[in-house]
């Protein structure tokens, strides 16, 4: 698993990258009440707004960490946005994307580097 400075996690599943937010981000946001996911098939560039998330504290944009295409979204979050709080590193994922070059993930932090960032 890799991590971004924007508190997203990236996990490779076969030839796709699964994207979600970290436990730290979920705790900082508080109780999540709404998630607006991108459309399947959307092409995104690194840094584009990909997901809108609203909590009792704030609204935030989740950015696309890489250039690619959104190939699957977690529709479960439409009915149960609190899943992001309950299981941010698992069932609370946002989307899966196809990227051209999986080696682009090498530029992101590993778990130890991310822990250093948030400590």
What CA–CA distances, in Å, run from 36 to 1, 12, 14, 116?
24, 23, 26, 30
Rounded average pLDDT over 23-47: 95
Rounded average pLDDT over 43-64: 94
Tokens standing for 23? Answer: 């436990």
Q: Is the dihedral of CA 26, 64, 116, 11 positive or negative?
A: positive
Q: Does the pTM exceed 0.85?
A: yes
Q: What is the CATH number of domain 2-100?
A: 2.40.50.100
Q: Residue 57 pLDDT more than 90?
A: no
pLDDT band at 58 (very low <50, low <70, confident <90, very high): confident
Q: Are 113 and 3 in contact (CB under 8 A)?
A: yes
Rounded average pLDDT over 26-39: 94
């Amino acid at each position: 698993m890799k991590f971004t400075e924007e508190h997203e996690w990236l996990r490779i599943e076969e030839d796709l990258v699964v994207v979600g937010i970290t436990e730290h981000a979920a705790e900082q946001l508080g109780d999540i009440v709404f998630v607006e996911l991108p459309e399947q098939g959307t092409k995104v560039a690194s840094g584009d707004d990909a997901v809108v998330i609203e909590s009792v504290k704030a609204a935030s944009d989740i950015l696309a960490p890489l250039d690619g295409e959104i190939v699957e979204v977690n529709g479960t979050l439409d009915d149960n946005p609190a899943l992001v709080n309950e299981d941010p590193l698992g069932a609370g994922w946002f989307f899966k994307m196809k990227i051209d070059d999986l080696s682009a993930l090498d530029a992101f932090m590993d778990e130890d580097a991310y822990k250093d960032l948030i400590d």
